[in-house]
A and B are shown apart, each in its own frame.
Chain A
C-alpha cells in the first residue's frame, strides 16, 4: 500500500454547528481512485467540501501529504456566472491562477498548457466562444479543462457527471482514468453503481453520519446482516453494487 495522500482522524463535519458526518477516521492511499458513494443527503458533499477546505473541521484532524496540498475541487453546483462575458479560452485560463497570480504575464508554456487542456476536453474548436453559449455538457468539459490546468495532485469531484450525456461522461471519465495513471489521487462522488464497479478500486461509503473506506470488491461480497454493524449500514450500497 502506498503512502497516504489524505488522513482523517476522528473528523466531524457539518454546517451551523450541526455535524452531518462524525468521527471519521480513514487514510486514502496516494494515487488511489476513490468513489464516494451514499444516499442523497448522507453527507458526501459536506465531507468533500471539508476535505477541500471549504468548510472548517468541527472536530478531529486532517492531514494531506505535501504534494496533495495542490488540490483541485469541482463542486457539485457550478457557481459560474454564465452571463459573464468571457470566452472558453479565458475561462480555462483561470486554472493557471496559481502560476500567474495577479501580475505575471501568460508565458508560452502556459498558453501551451491551455491549448493542451482544451484539446484533451475536445473544446479547441469552441475556445473563442463565450461561456454563455455553451451547453451544460460543454461547460462541464470546460470545468474539467480548468482542472487539468490546475495540475493538482489531489482532485475532488462532486457528482461531475450529473446531467451530462453518455459520450461526455465517458470522455470525462477517461480524464479521471488519465489522472489515476499519472498517480494523482481522485475522490469522485458518484451515483452510477456500474461506473463504480468498473472503474473505482476503492469506495468511500457515507451513510448514517459515518464514512468508511472499503475496496469495491469487498463491498460486493459483504454478507447481509439482520441487525447492527457495518453490514446493515451498507446494505443499500451492497444491494446497489450487486445489482
Chain B
C-alpha cells in the first residue's frame, strides 16, 4: 500500500489531492446537469473563454489570484451569454456559435499571456498547476465547491423541472430564468476553479467525463450525481498517483485517468442489454 500512501507525505501532493476532492464535489454534479442539458460543448467554450479574462487580470495585476479569478468569471459569463444570444438571433446553430467563440477566446487568451510571460506560464494556464497550488488558491477552490453545493441545493428543484420540461416551468410561474442563469454562474465558477488546478484546456474534463460515465450506467438523477462524484474522486486519485509514480504532468494525468474510467464504463455498458429510449420531442 506504500505506493498509495507515500506520495501524500509531500505537502504539494496533499494540496493537489485537496483541490481535486473539492473540484470533484463541486464540479462533477454541475457536469451532470451540463450533460443532461446538452451543454457539454458550452462548458468547453466557457472554460476556454476564462483564459483571456484571466490573462487580462494577469496583465493588469500580475500573478494576482483575485484579479485572474475575477477576469475569468467575467469572461466566462460573457461568453456563455453571448453564445446563447448569437445562437438565438442568427442562422448559426448553437454548436457552431460555441465553437467560434471558444476558438476566438483561446487565441486571444494565448496571445495575451504571451505578451508578458514565459513559455512556462503559458503551459501553466493551458494545463494547470495542480501540484503547486498555494493556500489562497486552495481556499478559493474549496470556497467555490462550497458555494456550488449550496447553490445547487437551492436551485435543484426548479433546475430539474427546467431541464425536463422548460415550457411547463414557465407556464407554472416557476423561476426558469433564475435557475438557468444561476446554473450558468455555478458552471463558470467551477470552471474557474478547474482553470486554476487543471488549466483552461483540461478544466472541463473533471466536469464532463465523470458525468458521462455516470449517465452510461444510471437512469436515476440522484444515482448519477453520486456516481459522478465517485468517478471524479477515483479519477483524481488515480491521476495524481500516475503523475507521481510516472513522473508525468498532473493535470493531463488526472483527465486521462477520468477518461480511462469513462472508456471502461463505456465498454462495460456496451456489453449489457440496451435500454430503449424514445427520442421524439413530441407526444404521439
Q: Do A and B bind each other?
A: yes
How distant is the Cα of A150 from the Cα of B170 in the complex, in angstroms? Answer: 14
Contacting pair A162 B277 (CB below 8 A): no
How distant is the Cα of A206 from the Cα of B67 in the complex, in angstroms? Answer: 60
Q: Counting CB contacts under 8 A, is B273 at the interface?
A: no
Contacting pair A82 B280 (CB below 8 A): yes
Q: Counting CB contacts under 8 A, is B89 at the interface?
A: no
Contacting pair B171 A52 (CB below 8 A): yes
Contacting pair B36 A84 (CB below 8 A): yes
Q: Counting CB contacts under 8 A, is B119 at the interface?
A: no
Q: Counting CB contacts under 8 A, is A182 at the interface?
A: no
| Shortest CB distance B278–A (Å) | 5
Contacting pair B278 A163 (CB below 8 A): no
Q: Which of B14-22, B108-116, B194-202, B215-223 forms part of the interface with chain A? A: B215-223
Given contacts A81-B164, A130-B219, are A54 and B171 in contact (CB under 8 A)?
yes
Can you list 8 A-B contacts (CB < 8 A)? A79-B281, A80-B283, A98-B172, A102-B154, A132-B219, A139-B283, A150-B172, A163-B282
Given contacts A85-B219, A136-B283, are A79 and B277 in contact (CB under 8 A)?
no
Q: Counting CB contacts under 8 A, is A146 at the interface?
A: yes
How distant is the Cα of A135 from the Cα of B282 in the complex, in angstroms? Answer: 11
Size bin of chain A's contact surface: 35 or more
Contacting pair A97 B276 (CB below 8 A): no
| Shortest CB distance B34–A (Å) | 13
Residues in chain A near residue B261, CB distance under 8 A: none
Contacting pair B161 A79 (CB below 8 A): no
Look across to chain A and name the residue whose beta carbon is closest to the beta carbon of B214.
A85
What are the nearest 4 A-B pairs in CB distance? A163-B284, A79-B167, A84-B164, A132-B277
- In the complex, given contacts A94-B172, A164-B283, what are 9 additional A-B residue pairs having Cβ atoms less than 8 angstroms apart? A80-B168, A80-B281, A82-B279, A85-B220, A86-B160, A94-B165, A94-B168, A133-B278, A136-B283
How distant is the Cα of A84 from the Cα of B224 in the complex, in angstroms? Answer: 11
Q: Which of A23-31, A70-78, A212-220 forms part of the interface with chain B? A: A70-78
| Shortest CB distance A87–B (Å) | 8
Given contacts A84-B36, A150-B172, A164-B284, are A133 and B165 in contact (CB under 8 A)?
no
Residues in chain B near residue A150, CB distance under 8 A: 172
How distant is the Cα of A94 from the Cα of B168 in the complex, in angstroms? Answer: 9
Q: Counting CB contacts under 8 A, is B66 at the interface?
A: no
Residues in chain A near residue B84, CB distance under 8 A: none
Task: Report the count of interface residues on B (CB-CB < 8 A).
Answer: 35
| Shortest CB distance B20–A (Å) | 26
Residues in chain B near residue A146, CB distance under 8 A: 168
Interface centre among A77, A78, A100 (most CB of B within 10 A): A78
How distant is the Cα of A57 from the Cα of B167 in the complex, in angstroms? Answer: 19
Which residue numbers of A lie inside 8 Å of B, CB to CB?
52-54, 73, 75, 77-87, 90-91, 94, 97-98, 100, 102-103, 130-137, 139-140, 143, 146, 150, 162-164
How distant is the Cα of A97 from the Cα of B283 in the complex, in angstroms? Answer: 22
Look across to chain B and name the residue whose beta carbon is closest to the beta carbon of A139.
B283
How distant is the Cα of A210 from the Cα of B280 in the complex, in angstroms? Answer: 33
Residues in chain B near residue A85, CB distance under 8 A: 36, 215, 218-221, 224
Residues in chain A near residue B171, CB distance under 8 A: 52-54, 73
| Shortest CB distance B32–A (Å) | 9
Residues in chain A near residue B218, CB distance under 8 A: 85
Interface centre among B154, B157, B160, B278 (most CB of A within 10 A): B278
Q: Counting CB contacts under 8 A, is B173 at the interface?
A: yes
Contacting pair B278 A132 (CB below 8 A): yes
| Shortest CB distance B23–A (Å) | 23
Contacting pair A163 B283 (CB below 8 A): yes
Contacting pair B277 A100 (CB below 8 A): no
Given contacts A97-B172, A100-B157, are A77 and B278 in contact (CB under 8 A)?
no
How distant is the Cα of A133 from the Cα of B163 in the complex, in angstroms? Answer: 17
How distant is the Cα of A137 from the Cα of B284 in the complex, in angstroms? Answer: 6
How distant is the Cα of A102 from the Cα of B124 in the complex, in angstroms? Answer: 41
Residues in chain A near residue B219, CB distance under 8 A: 85, 130, 132
Residues in chain A near residue B7, CB distance under 8 A: none
Q: Mark B210-235, 1 if CB is under 8 A from A, else 0.
A: 00000100111100100000000000
